[in-house]
Amino acid sequence: MKRKTIFGVFILLLLSFSLFAQNFNDALLKAVQFYDANRCGPLAGEDNIFSDWRGACHTKDGQDVGVDLTGGFHDAGDHVKFGLPQAYTAGVLGWALYEFKDQIAAAGATEKLLKTLKYFTDYFIKSKVGSRFYYQVGEGEADHTYWGPPEEQSSDRPTYAWADSSKAATDVLSQTSAALSLMYLNYREINSSYANQCLTLARDLFDMAKSNIGRGNGQSFYQSSSMYDDLSWAATWLYVIDNDASLISDVKTWLQKPTQNGDVPLNQNHWTMCWDDMGLAVIAKLGMLTGDSQYISVLEENLRYWLNDLATTPGGMKYLNNWGVLRYNAAESMIALLYYGHTGTKAYLDFAEKQLKYMLGANPANMSYLIGYGSNWAKHPHHRAANGYTYANGDNQKPAKHTITGALVGGPDQSDRYVDDVNQFQYTEVALDYNAGLVGALAGYLKYAGGVIETPTPVQVTPTPVENTPTPTPASEYTVGDVNNDGNRNIVDALLIAQLYVGLPVPTYVVPEEYGDLNMDGVVNIVDALLIAQCYVGLPTAYC
C-alpha cells in the first residue's frame, strides 16, 4: 500500500512536470520588473507595475544635509539605500543590456530595464553635490527595527555616508562609475545628452576613487573586503569607451593587490561576481576583450572549480554560501554564458542551464525561487512592502499580502530544503543584487539556447545526509560565528563579538556582519557571543 502511494505521488509529480514549461522570456521580463518593488522617492509609484501597493516614500531624504537625495532604490526587504549594492546592481544590469540587448528586447523587457537603469543613474547624478558624493541614506540598525510598508515609515532617515577629499570610498565610487559608463554605452543612441552626462560623472567618480584610496563605509551590512577590484571594474568600462591602454596596465597592477581576505584576484578567484567582488567580472570582460592569457587562465580555473569542485546539493544546485545562495549561482551563470559565447565550450552552457532550471522549478522541492513564476513559489518573502503587515501580533509572519513578482529569493540550503519563513531571511530575503546576475544569466541563456525551453524531466534524487556532502571551502567563505575567519569558531570569536558589542576596537580582519549573527536575528550582539561561548564549551544550544 505504501509503495502504491509513493508510486502515485511519483506519477503526479511526472504529470505536474510535464505541464510545466520554463519560459525564459517570461522569467526574464519578471526578473526585470521586480525592481519596481524597491523604488524609493516621490516618483516611486509612477509607472510602477506594483502601483497598487507601491507609492511615494522617503520624500525627505537628504534634507538633514540640505540636499535632495530622494529617489534610488531600497536595498532588499529593508529600506536603507546602500551605495555598494545599488551601484553593483546598476552595473550588472547595464552589462546584461550591453551584452544581450536583442534577447532583452525579445522578452519585451527593454523599456522597463532602461527605465530602471535611468532611475538608478538619475539618483547617482543627484547624489554628486559639489565635491561630495552621497552614497547611503538611512542607518541600517535603526531601519531594521521597523517592519511595515515604506510609504508609512515616518522615522528620521539620516544621510549616513558620503565621499569627498577627506573621506575615501574607492569601492562605491568605482562601482558607481562603472554603472554610469555602462549607462553611457547603453543610452548614447537614445539620448546622447543624458548619456554624456553619465559619462562625465563616471570619469569624475573614477578620478575621486583613484585620488583618495580607501574602502567606503557600508556599516556591517555592505563593508567590502577590497576596493582595487572595483577600481578595475570602473577602468574596464572606461577602457571599452576610450581604448586607453594605460587603463589596462593599471588594472594589472591593481589586481595583484591582496584583498582584506588575503586573496590576490590575479592569482586565483574561486568566488564569483558579487557586490563585494568584481575581480572575476573584470577578468572575464578584459580576458575576452584582450585575449590576455593570465586573465583567461584565472577565468577558466574559476569555471573549472565551479563545475567540478564546488559543493553540489543532491538536487544539483551549486552551493557557495548559505546567505542568498542563488544570487551567486545566477552571477556565475552569467559569467559562464558570456564565456560560452566566446569559446563555444558546451559545459559552460550546460552548467548555466542546470542552475537556471533549478532556480525556476526543476528541483527536489518543486519550487520556483522566482516569485510569481511557475505554479509554486515562496509565499513569505522577507520584504516589508510586499508583506504589507507590521510586527504587531506576529502579523509579519502571515503570507505576503502582495505578490512581488520577479523577485529571486535567497534559496534553499545544502540539502535542497527551502524554509519559507519571513524570519529566516537567509532563505527568504530578496534584494537588488540577487536579481542583477539573474537578469544577465537569463538573457545570456536566451541568446545561446533560445526561446521557450520545455523541461519535462523531474529531478529525482536520493537524499544524501548533509554531513556526507563534501564542502570545499572557497578562499573567501566564512563559517557563521568565525568572525576572525581563522577556520575555527571558538572562544576568541565570542570575545571579539563581545568587544565589538561594548564598543572596543577589534582588528580590521574581523568581519562580524552577517557572519557573527549566530542566532540569525539580524543583529550581531552579546547574545551571539554567549551562544558561541556555549557552543565552545559544549553546552547545548540550537545554534551550534
Among 32, 57, 441, 510, binds Zn ion (CB under 5 A): 57
Least distance (Å) from Zn ion to the CB of residue 157? 9
Q: Does 76 bind Zn ion (CB under 5 A)?
A: no
Q: Which is nearer to Zn ion, 134 or 373 (CB)?
A: 134
Least distance (Å) from Zn ion to the CB of residue 137? 9
527: its cell numbers: 547574545
> Which one of the spans 28-36, 37-45, 433-441, 518-526 is the region binding Zn ion (CB under 5 A)?
37-45
Least distance (Å) from Zn ion to the CB of residue 390? 17
Q: Does 58 bind Zn ion (CB under 5 A)?
A: yes
Q: Does 81 bind Zn ion (CB under 5 A)?
A: no
Q: What is the CA radius of gyration of the chain?
A: 22
Q: Does 436 bind Zn ion (CB under 5 A)?
A: no
- Cα separation, 32 vs 106, in Å, equals 13
Distance, CA of 78 to chain centre: 14
Among 27, 40, 163, 362, binds Zn ion (CB under 5 A): 40
> Which one of the spans 57-65, 158-166, 331-339, 506-514 is the region binding Zn ion (CB under 5 A)?
57-65
Least distance (Å) from Zn ion to the CB of residue 153? 7
Question: Is 68 a residue of the active site?
Answer: no
Q: Does 489 bind Zn ion (CB under 5 A)?
A: no
Which residues inside 353-372 make contact with Zn ion, applying CB under 5 A? none
Among 91, 94, 150, 279, binds Zn ion (CB under 5 A): 150
Provide the b/e sequence for 124-147 (b: ≥16 CB within 10 Å): bbbbbbeebbbbbbbbbeebbebb
According to DSSP, the β-strands at 452-454 and 21-23 are antiparallel
Q: Does 317 bind Zn ion (CB under 5 A)?
A: no
Contact in structure between 242 and 305 (CB atoms under 8 Å): no
Contact in structure between 424 and 411 (CB atoms under 8 Å): no
Q: Which is nearer to Zn ion, 57 or 273 (CB)?
A: 57
- Cα separation, 358 vs 341, in Å, equals 22
Q: Where are the alpha helices (DSSP H) in 54-151?
A: 83-99, 101-106, 110-127, 140-143
Least distance (Å) from Zn ion to the CB of residue 69? 11
Q: Say which of 74, 79, 382, 383 is annotated catalytic.
A: 382
Question: Is 230 a residue of the active site?
Answer: no
Q: Does 231 bind Zn ion (CB under 5 A)?
A: no
The three-state (H, E, C) secondary structure of 269-288, written as one string:
CCCCCECCECHHHHHHHHHH
- Cα separation, 326 vs 27, in Å, equals 15
Q: Does 439 bind Zn ion (CB under 5 A)?
A: no
> Which one of the spans 56-64, 170-178, 309-317, 337-345 is the region binding Zn ion (CB under 5 A)?
56-64
Q: Say which of 75, 277, 429, 433 is annotated catalytic.
A: 429
Q: Say which of 64, 420, 477, 513 is annotated catalytic.
A: 420
Least distance (Å) from Zn ion to the CB of residue 439? 22
By CB under 5 A, the count of residues binding Zn ion is 4
Q: Does 94 bind Zn ion (CB under 5 A)?
A: no
Residues 6+ away with beta carbon under 8 Å from 181: 198, 199, 202, 234, 237, 238, 240, 241
Q: Does 443 bind Zn ion (CB under 5 A)?
A: no
Q: Does 37 bind Zn ion (CB under 5 A)?
A: no
On the 0-12 / 13-18 / 19+ scale of CB atoms within 10 A, 503 is: exposed
Q: Which is nearer to Zn ion, 57 or 282 (CB)?
A: 57
Provide the b/e sequence for 84-117 (b: ≥16 CB within 10 Å): bbbbbbbbbbbbbbbbbeebbebbebbebbbbbb
Q: Which is nearer to Zn ion, 30 or 54 (CB)?
A: 54
Contact in structure between 444 and 337 (CB atoms under 8 Å): yes
Question: Is 78 a residue of the active site?
Answer: yes
**Which parts of this chain interact with Zn ion (CB under 5 A)?**
40, 57-58, 150
So which residues are the catalytic ones?
A: 78, 382, 420, 429
